[in-house]
Amino acid sequence: MKVTRIDILTRGLTNRCPNCGGKTLFVPGKVFQMHETCPACGFKFEGAGGHEGFYLRSTSLNFGVTLTCYLLPVLLLAYYRVISVPVATGLAFGGALMPILLYRPSRSWGLMNYYLFAPGELPANGGEKHPS
């Protein structure tokens, strides 16, 4: 296998193409625009693995990370009276920025999570280049 799970993991954590490792996931200068295919190798990002739900996968990852790493600790701190309720409320409203900040990483993590379990589907490992 050309692309190992370690390669997929490091590429996913650094917002790179899971197939070739190029810095090509996002359109330069466009914060929220992702390429449909990798300009370097032609790998199709949307509908990864030929399955629908890529956007849902990355959105649920974004929501889960925001909830467990930000909102849950704020709620626990307020519950145990480490911080006051008004402070917790302000922090919770400030947490609305978290999904925006995690947009790019969550899109990359969605690809990473899929291909960690199915590395053979990457074109570099013999999978289809453009899934149907």
Instruction: Write down the pTM of the prediction.
Output: 0.83
| Predicted local confidence at residue 2, as pLDDT | 92
The predicted-structure confidence for 27-80, as pLDDT tens digits, reads as follows: 999 989 999 999 999 998 876 655 667 788 889 999 999 999 999 999 999 999
| Predicted local confidence at residue 27, as pLDDT | 93
CA distances from 6 to 1, 2, 16, 38, 126 (A): 12, 11, 13, 20, 18
pLDDT surpassing 80 at residue 5: yes
Q: In sequence order, which ranges of the chain are alpha helices (DSSP H)?
A: 5-13, 54-66, 72-79, 85-94, 98-101, 103-117
The predicted-structure confidence for 93-116, as pLDDT tens digits, reads as follows: 998 899 999 999 999 999 999 999
Tell me the domain boundaries of the chain: 5-125
Q: What is the rounded distance in angstroms from the CA atom of residue 130 to the CA atom of residue 42?
A: 8
| Predicted local confidence at residue 48, as pLDDT | 63
Q: Looking at the DSSP assignment, which residues form a beta bridge with residue 34?
A: 26
Q: What is the rounded distance in angstroms from the CA atom of residue 24 to the CA atom of residue 21?
A: 8
